[in-house]
Structure 1
Amino acid sequence: MNLSKDTKFRWLILSLVLVAIFEVLSLSGWDLPHVIAIPLFLSIILFIGHQTLLEGFQALFQLNFKSINFLMTIAVIGAFYLEKYEEAAIVIVLYNLAEKLEDLGIQQSKTSLSSLAEKMPKVAFIKGRDFSIPVSQVKIDDVLVVKPGEMIPLDGEVLLGFTAVDEATITGEPIAKDKMVGDFVFAGTLNKQGYIEVKVTKLAKDTTLAKIQEITLQAFQAKAHTQKFIETFSSYYTPSVILLAFLWMIIPPYFFLTPFNQSFQNALTLLVIACPCALVISTPVSIYSALGNAASKGILIKGGRYLEAIGKIKAIALDKTRTLTFGNPIVTDVIPFGSNTKEHLLSCAAGIEVQSEHPLAKSIVQAAKEEKYVPHSIENFQIKIGKGAQADCLVCEDKHHCIGKLEFILEEHHVPQEVIEKIDLLQKEGKTAILICTHKEVEGVIGLLDEVRPESKQVILDIKNLGVTPVMLTGDNLTSAQAIAKMIDITDVKASLLPEDKAKEIQALLYKYKSVAMVGDGINDAPALALSSVGITMSELGSDTAIEAASIVILSDYLNRIPFLIKLGRKALQTIRLNIFLAIAIKLIFISLALFGMSNLALAIFADVGVTVIVILNSLRLARA
């Protein structure tokens, strides 16, 4: 018999109301005649609980005493034997209602995750064609046409046009991001504004959204440690309860001359009360709710065990470059010497560096543009790899210019002590000092610093307030690392680390704190991410290797998601523990009542459904935590 989910739920409620009315009348001393009661309640039992009874009989034939359906089948048959037809019906109706509530709870908590698959674009328009083709047939380097209001079908780079893209499906952020030539766009995001052409950089199976879908599937398959424990516990608990009920049915009549029917009813009541429904669902509903909440905020957690792990951490190691900082150096100081001016120094430096691809060179050129300084024209440009550059300036009186670090300048030129002291001061602040020099003099020094994320200091403060110790791990030199650490209030700094050194530092932290998270973005962070209790990376910045190695992927570059994650993990653990306590405590209370003959089947089922509803509602709070 196939009923839609909504129809089945309505029939369950209707049956519950009908059976409850007759149960109340029965408790008041008014019972239906057997000729009416038997067909009426048997019809309700078969209509509502046919699947439960079928699985119960299958478990009986297979001698699978771990099956909850087996317990329910025994309870229904026993109640009929005792001529408690109303209670037989209410047992099966309430049990199926509890199962339905469990399904609804888990389904609601899965919604945010399962909707990702539905957002996967199915077709794409290739430039020069008048028809769409399946995304599976699109090749790398094909050029896609994406009009306003259309979903971007594949990951790629913007070749033409300017637009705003809603990336909520990827990052969880509602504010659209501007995209121009050279920017990357993701499959499943919405082009809200302008016409763009996109060169495909990843096949359909490799897109960011496809990886999200794959990670989501893995998250459901990777069970939490608590969930595994409960399932193992239930596999022993259920047969033990059956044995106890059997003994309770046999021993009192044989040794204490208790009426068999009374002992049989007490044993049935014990079986019904002991059904571990609420205990079994106490963890998965909580985990799915929390995973759905995280996914709605652009965070993918690769399984319940990592959610539990982030809630237990005592220390968190953070990479510096591109995690706590943007990884893009910015000009912080322009210090001219002699009669030179800031404009002259920056214009001349930008004129030389405009031909260089080095990140420091690009930062100097950008600084000149921001000041609206015109870069000087140059000729005879020569780059000195790893050192600096030299060129002849067509604007300056002294044409020959060298630009680079102190060691490079000292190879050909004298540098006054005043300049060296200024360089030392900049370096103590964690800055990189670049000198500009002619044959006659050092014209000035430009200081650059890796730009600290504006939220980094607050994130570190939030982490500390949660009782977690932050540690900086970086391959950068100690002076620069300590300068950045001082800005954001990190006291524990490990610098000049190779990838294997970072892994060793994680091992040391694990020995000291037991549970440690690692946040990183690069290939060199992958060993440390994999070794930590829970590895976290930010996909917008992270390498594919880091994303594969991480346990949690933040689908944006928002560092402030980390304190949220720790709080969510802790709240999930608290919710699971409370659920388990409620499930076990209420079971123990009613089992004790049943052993002393102070309970009945209806009360047992109401108690079981009640705690199941409480557990589900308590778990669903995590979806909005």
Structure 2
Amino acid sequence: MATKNEKKMTKSYFDVLGICCTSEVPLIENILNSLDGVKEYSVIVPSRTVIVVHDSLIISQFNIVKALNQARLEANVRVTGETNFKNKWPSPFAVVSGVLLLLSFFKYVYSPFRWLAVAAVVAGIYPILAKSVASIARARIDINILVVITVGATLGMRDYTEAAAVVFLFTIAEWLQSRASYKASAVMQSLMSLAPQKAVIAETGEEVEVDELKINTVIAVKAGETISIDGVVVDGNCEVDEKTLTGEAFPVPKLRDSTVWAGTINLNGYITVKTTALAEDCVVAKMAKLVEEAQNSKTETQRFIDECSKYYTPAIILISLCFVVIPFALKVHNMKHWLHLALVVLVSACPCGLILSTPVATFCALTKAATSGLLIKGADYLETLAKIKTVAFDKTGTITRGEFIVMDFKSLSRDISLHSLLYWVSSVESKSSHPMAAALVDYAKSISVEPKPEAVEDYQNFPGEGIHGKIGGKEVYIGNKRIASRAGCSSVPDIDVDTKGGKTVGYVYLGETLAGVFNLSDACRSGVAQAMKELKSMGIKTAMLTGDNQASAMHAQEQLGNVMDVVHAELLPEGKSQIIKEFKREGPTAMVGDGLNDAPALATADIGISMGVSGSALATETGHIILMSNDIRRIPQAIRLARRGKRKVVENVVLSITMKGAILALAFAGHPLIWAAVLADVGTCLLVILNSMLLLRDVHVPGGKCHRAEKGACDVVGDMEAGLLPKHCKSGCCGKKNQQEVMKLDKTSEGHGHSGCCDKKREDKVMIVRKRCESRCCGDKIQQRDQDEVKQSCHNKAGDTEEIRLDISVKGCCSRPVADPVVASDGHRESSCCESSRKGNNEEACCEVETNESNCSSREKHHSHCHSHHHE
């Protein structure tokens, strides 16, 4: 019976425009708690959204809306989680009230027009009065009651124009506030409704609801369609846009057996996909759930402000009463002035702007993070992220790609063949999810050894050491040198193992006997060096914590240009946790990890950042922040965003207090303007929302430097892979279309090529660069290997095309090409692609460089040989 009821559970989204601040949350909770069939709910104040999980057989969406609207909360159903903002224009009450107020100013021409101000009050007061009655019925005080009291008192003092101004300003400001809230939440709602609601069965062509799909169902996805559920490609190939999910700037190619995710877009090609998860368990659904939970959480600052607001409103109301009672008791002559002053103070009793100052800024920061491929699981983690002093990184799969290649595999026993040893090793490793295991299994298959994981018994994993399994009566231990103790061997025998180039060394034991040894190589991820430099520029200490050997760790450090402040190698998981505890003494610490061995360190750190889609399930559960892509450069972006969010909270709090203080100061100075107090109250809420929305905008990295400036040896593709624009130059820079061409070329040209800024094509694995010599091109900072050959064609001033070969032997900053034909001694024409001066027999050309890069001299010279043989 329980299972049957569980299938009827529905998650519904409601836009509740009557939510002003957190003071409405208890009201909504009381209403929903009284409804049968409501299982759970959450109220997201900044986006004015209520999410309800309910049994649709017991209570419908209509009944929930009806219950909410009895309290005048202006609720309506949002279809399939999408934003549906209905109030595109102000309400008729506000419009009529405004027109009548405007006409009332003609009282200075014809006095009876002053009564139009009273008509303006009558026309606009209804929605405010209705909400006040609903609040009184539920024994709660809100801004609507305060406004009604203020308007009534103002009319009693015959200040008709001021009463009309209060009504109009309040209603129109509430509408503006609703519009701003809608715009702030629109980005998040589009993110939370990425996956389509229907899918097409490949075999029959039938369109079905995504919720009805079972695991291992094969669906069809055409070019241009959004993939509806997680799965594996079983037929066809295409390119997929994963930007909305991971933040990846460029299309990702998908072939047979490639994994695809719900919410990503098939750009070209027809594919069939076998589902690997239910709709509620796919990555985009989990992401939406995490985002909802994060939005509903509170920071420490917000909890403090909410606590203070409980006492603020009663205290201000009491003060307001004192300004009426005491002067009346003393029988002062200017009683009207004191009544105005009391009303100004009364209107200031609602702290909505102050209450919204933190949650709206937090909401916008979480939204920006999610749309950038960063899932922050709670508001507290965002607040802590802004204070981070140290960031520690695991090496394998985090700093490095985690794509190991077996460089050597040896059997150390004459009695055991390499084939047999590989069979035992690959069978046991098939049980592991470590990147090294995949490399060993692939290596075995490459030499026709087929592993049999089903034959393995007593499989065990020893974090930081290795694994064990029993197969064919053999006790097999595989891992680093620490695995020797597990095998019953006190120490690793002294054998000759190649550790050059930072290779990772592994050992194979059969019982207590060392039976084999192997080494693997890995490469750094693109952009890691740049990320470390950014963190350092932000005053953050960086550290590498790895269980790998010292030689491998130091090799990675050298590849990164020695940017890491601290390197610790050969660590057990407990060792990583201990070092994190030491770092925490210096200040808040973040740990970035990918695998099972990182889970304890991620949990120990103030902020655990796990590599989401590629990371292990345990690491993802442990991490406080999930990095949806493998781009480490997202980490300094996240910290920078958190710091901006913290600044916005401070700005909002100062703005709220200053506005209230200014109006009260003006009142005490002898100018108690009631309409100004109302405008300050609702206007502050609007300004807080608009100021927080600035977090949704992209901000240029401080300093304006090109990310192509100084690359580490690891940055093979560099900024092209990240989709960054080229650096500054006098005549403009390349567009994104050309960058994509360059990226494809760099990935297939075996390291050769010139990352220039003109149109690029590929021909016979040699990059053809077509440059118009009449126009200037960007001064690109190029790092190429010595003696790289680049085949380049350059248009001369006459429009002819000549092909030349460049031997670039010096790292430098190339300038625009200028193809001035030079006649060589052999009768052929020699064309220089640089601004050149002839030397000797014209075999050398000198290239003078102008660049805007701060790390390149303004005029730099280097020599390059430019040869072109073109028969006249």
- The alignment's TM-score, normalised by the length of structure 1, stands at 0.79
Indicate how the Cα distance of structure 1 residues 162 and 597 shifts in structure 2: closer, same or farther if over 3 A, else same.
Answer: same
Cα pair distance change 1:29/1:547, threshold 3 Å: farther
Q: Does 1:510 align with 2:584?
A: yes
Is the CA contact 2:93–2:124 (under 8 Å) kept in the aligned structure 1? no
Report the alpha carbon displacement of residue 83 of structure 1 after superposing the two structures with TM.
1.6
Question: 3-state SS of the aligned residue for 1:584?
Answer: helix
Counterpart in the other structure of 2:707: none
Residue of structure 1 in register with 2:335 after alignment: 260
Work out whether 1:491 is the aligned partner of 2:574: no
Residue 19 of structure 1 aligns with which residue? 101
Please tell me the residue identity of whatever aligns with 2:664: I
| Structure 2 residue corresponding to 1:5, chosen from 80, 84, 87 | 87
Backbone CA RMSD of aligned residues: 4.1
Task: Note closer, same or farther for the CA distance 1:9–1:527 as it changes in structure 2 (3 Å cut).
Answer: farther
Q: Deviations over 1:58-84 (max 9, x none)?
A: 44465534x222322221221121122
User: Is the alpha carbon distance of 1:364 and 1:527 closer, same or farther for their aligned partners in structure 2, counting shifts above 3 Å?
Assistant: closer
C-alpha deviation, 1:116, in angstroms: 2.9
Assess, with a 3 A threshold, how the Cα gap between structure 1 residues 72 and 122 changes in structure 2: closer, same or farther: same
SS at match of 1:191: strand
CA distance in 1, matches of 2:382, 2:99: 40
Residue 430 (structure 1) aligns with: 502
> Equivalent residue for 1:477?
549
Match of 1:457 in 2: 529
Counterpart selection for 2:387 from 306, 312, 317: 312
Residues 1:605 and 2:678 are matched in the alignment:
yes
Name which of structure 1's ranges 270-279 and 216-225 shifts more when overlaid on structure 2: 270-279
Q: Given the superposition, is the C-alpha separation of residues 75 and 483 from structure 1 closer, same or farther in structure 2, using an over 3 Å criterion?
A: same
Deviation string 1:510-538 (CA, Å, 9 cap, x unpaired) is: 2331x222222223333433343322222
Gaps of 5+ in 2: 1-71, 75-84, 410-417, 430-434, 451-458, 460-465, 468-478, 485-493, 508-516, 699-872
Deviation string for 1:159-196 (max 9, x for gaps)?
Answer: 22211111122113342210011210001212221222
User: Residue 209 in 1 paired to residue 284 in 2?
Assistant: yes
Q: Does 1:585 align with 2:664?
A: no
1:153 to partner: Cα distance: 1.9
Of 555, 560, 565, the residue aligned with 2:633 is: 560
Among 599, 609, 612, which residue is 1:539 paired with?
A: 612
Q: Residues 89-127 of structure 1: CA distance to partner in whole angstroms, max 9, x if unpaired?
A: 221322233333332222212222211343322233334
Q: Is residue 353–residue 361 contact of structure 1 (8 Å, CA) maintained in 2? A: no
Question: Structure 2 counterpart of 1:53, which letter?
Answer: L
Aligned residues: 563
1: CA distance between counterparts of 2:157 and 2:104? 17
Matched, 1:548 2:624: no
Indicate the residue corresponding to 1:622 in structure 2.
695
Contact kept, 8 Å, 1:270 with 1:595, in 2: the verdict is: no
The 3 A distance-change label for structure 1 pair 101 and 289 is: farther
Measure, in 1, the Cα distance between the counterparts of 2:422 and 2:273.
30
Contact 1:273 1:604 in 2 (8 A): yes
* In structure 1, distance between residues paired with 2:447 and 2:606: 53
Are the aligned partners of 2:90 and 2:172 in contact in 1 as well (CA < 8 Å)? Answer: no
> What letter matches 2:585 in structure 1?
Y
Shift of 1:590: 1.6
Whether the 8 Å CA contact 1:146–1:198 is kept in 2: the answer is yes
The AA in structure 1 aligned to 2:89 is T
Q: What secondary structure does 2:89 align onto?
A: helix
- One-letter amino acid of the structure 2 residue matched with residue 289 of structure 1: C
Of the candidates 140, 143, 152, which is equivalent to residue 218 of structure 2? 143
CA contact (8 A) 2:389 2:586 kept: no
CA distance in 2, matches of 1:119, 1:142: 21
Change (3 A) 1:506 1:447: closer
- 1:481-539 deviations in Å (ceiling 9; x for gaps): 343234432132344444444344333332331x2222222233334333433222222
Superposed structure 1 runs of 4+ greater than 6 Å apart: 331-334, 352-356, 358-367, 375-379, 404-408
Tell me which of 55, 67, 81 is aligned to 2:131. Answer: 55
Give the AA of the match of 2:674.
L
The 3 A distance-change label for structure 1 pair 181 and 266 is same
Which residue number in structure 1 is paired with residue 79 of structure 2? none
Residue 532 of structure 1 aligns to which amino acid in structure 2? A
Q: Which amino acid aligns with 1:217?
A: E
Structure 1 residues 318 and 588 mapped into 2: Cα distance closer, same or farther (>3 Å)? same
- Taking the aligned partners of 1:587 and 1:147, their CA distance within structure 2 comes to 57
Tell me if structure 2 keeps the 8 A contact 1:309–1:533: yes
Q: Distance in 1 between matches of 2:614 and 2:366?
A: 22
Distance 2:292 2:448 in 1: 57
More helix, by proportion: 1
106-115 vs 179-188, which deviates more?
A: 106-115
Secondary structure of the 2:401 match is strand
**Paired residue type of 1:506:** I
1:279 and 2:354 equivalent? yes
What SS is found at the alignment partner of 1:451?
coil
Deviation readout 1:437-486 (Å, 9 max, x if unpaired): xxxxxxxx997432111211111111111111122233333443343234
C-alpha contact (below 8 Å) 1:20/1:90 kept by paired residues = no
- How many angstroms apart in 2 are the aligned matches of 1:135 and 1:519? 34
Q: Distance in 2 between matches of 1:262 and 1:31?
A: 24
Q: Give the residue type in structure 2 aligned to 1:550.
A: G
- Counterpart of 1:346 in structure 2 is none
In structure 1, the residue corresponding to 2:123 is in which secondary structure? helix
Q: How far off its partner does 1:137 sit?
A: 2.4
Q: Is the 8 A contact 1:12 1:97 kept in 2?
A: yes
Of Structure 1 and Structure 2, the greater strand share is in 2
Contact kept in structure 2, 1:105 and 1:616, CA below 8 Å: yes
Question: 2-side partners of 1:450 and 1:55: how far apart?
Answer: 65
Structure 2 SS opposite 1:158? strand
In structure 2, the residue matched to 1:116 is: 191
Relative to structure 2, which stretch is displaced further, 238-247 or 323-332? Answer: 323-332
Cα distance in 1 between the residues matched to 2:436 and 2:594 = 21
Which residues of 2 match residues 146-295 of structure 1 at below 5 A?
A: 146-255=221-330, 257-295=332-370
TM-superposed deviation, 1:559: 1.1
The CA distance in 2 between the partners of 1:447 and 1:193, in whole Å, is: 40
The share of aligned pairs that are identical, in percent, is 35
Q: Distance in 2 between matches of 1:452 and 1:305?
A: 32
TM-aligned CA deviation for residue 229 of structure 1: 2.4
TM-score, with normalisation over the residues of structure 2?
A: 0.58
Letter in 2 for 1:8: P
Aligned residue type for 2:132:
G
- Paired residue type of 1:471: A
What amino acid is aligned across from residue 308 of structure 2 in structure 1?
A: F
Tell me whether 1:104 sits opposite 2:183 in the alignment: no
How far 1:21 sits from its partner (Å)?
Answer: 6.0
Distance (Å, rounded) in 2 between the aligned partners of 1:91 and 1:248? 21
Q: Is the 8 A contact 2:595 2:615 kept in 1?
A: yes
2:9 corresponding residue in structure 1: none
